[in-house]
Amino acid sequence: MKSSHAAAMEKRRAATEQAKKDVTDYALAGLRRPHYAGVFRRIEGATSPTFLAKIELDGFERHLEIRVSVQRDKAGQRYLNGLLSGVSLLSEARRFELTGDSGGADRYSGAIELHGVCLIVSVLPITTINSGRIYLCHMEVLRETADIGCRR
């Protein structure tokens, strides 16, 4: 048998987890579609190459911002750090790392795991009609990740 202290701790833990899930649901209420896209624009004056994409939300007259910074590790390999803003979440949940995809050069993806929701952010290079190059930000919203896992 569980002691009353252990039972109370278990109830408190379950209530805390449910509260975190509810806060995440409210914070992501504007994400009604499974896919969103934006165009990355370079931020001038940043110490390392930094790009920002704005994603407009449905019906809330708000937007999310996804900021990506290009970094180099000690071996000189390039990697990308991402930051999601525009959503009231815990600060550690808003940061993510993007890794290179095997699908092609300059394609990266990363995931933000939240309580019951997973946001998968991809950076995709596109060639424009003038033969210029732009980078698209694709964000996929996966709900109920407890069952399916946060895949990338």
Q: Over the stretch 44-89, which tens digit does the pLDDT of each residue have?
A: 988 888 999 998 876 666 788 999 998 888 888 878 999 998 877 6
Residues of the domain holding 132: 4-148
- How far is the C-alpha of 76 from the C-alpha of 86, rounded, in Å? 32
pTM (whole model) above 0.85: no
Residue 120, pLDDT above cutoff 80:
yes
**Span 78-107, average pLDDT:** 79
Nearest to 70 by CA among 89, 38, 43, 104: 43
Name the band, by pLDDT with cuts 50, 70 and 90, for residue 37.
very high
User: What are the two backbone dihedrals, phi and then psi, of residue 68, each rounded to the nearest 5 degrees?
Assistant: -125, 130
- How far is the C-alpha of 21 from the C-alpha of 27, rounded, in Å? 10
Residue 71: C-alpha distances to residues 39, 64, 77, 131, 140 (Å): 20, 22, 8, 27, 24
Q: Average per-residue pLDDT in the chain? A: 82
- How far is the C-alpha of 80 from the C-alpha of 112, rounded, in Å? 14
Higher pLDDT, 44 or 106: 44
Residue 53: C-alpha distances to residues 84, 103, 150 (Å): 10, 22, 22
Look at the chain and report how many structural domains it folds into. 1
